[in-house]
Amino acid sequence: MGRKSFSIETLHGYKIEDLVDLKNNTDSKYSRLALAVVTMRYFGQSNTDIIEATRLSKTSIVKHIKEWNAHGIESIKDNRGGSESKLEPEMVDDLIYVATNKSPADFEFTCHNWSCQLLSLILKKHME
């Protein structure tokens, strides 16, 4: 017989419906997964069920539950590092347009398929 699973001790003043809505409407994958773990465990789902639904490890599931119990809604914020994008949104849109609608030959390259290096050259020219 296995050890008893960690449970959600409190919703920290939130209604479960509000947490489900937040999960369904957030743009952050990290927050969405954390809220999925919290809501599924609140509804009595086992670790195995949560693993199948989220593809998270058991360790991550336990971490999300412990963090929720200790810190509430603050625990769903993604505090991992990372830098801000150096590309302007219009540059990203232009790059997507070029990659999907143009050929490298249109820019006097000798190959027929886009690579990261070629797209990088296009960006450098665009930035000049």
Residues 102-123: what's their mean pLDDT? 90
Reply yes or no on whether the pLDDT at 102 is more than 80.
Answer: yes
In the chain, domain spans: 16-76, 89-127
Question: In Å, what is the CA distance from 32 to each residue of 56, 80, 112, 114?
Answer: 12, 15, 39, 33
Band of residue 82 on the pLDDT scale cut at 50, 70, 90: confident
The model's pTM is 0.62
Alpha-carbon distance of 16 to 110, in angstroms, equals 57
Residue 93 burial (10 A CB sphere; 0-12, 13-18, 19+): exposed
Average pLDDT in the chain: 90
Reply yes or no on whether the pLDDT at 36 is more than 70.
Answer: yes
Reply yes or no on whether the pLDDT at 21 is more than 70.
Answer: yes
Alpha-carbon distance of 37 to 51, in angstroms, equals 9
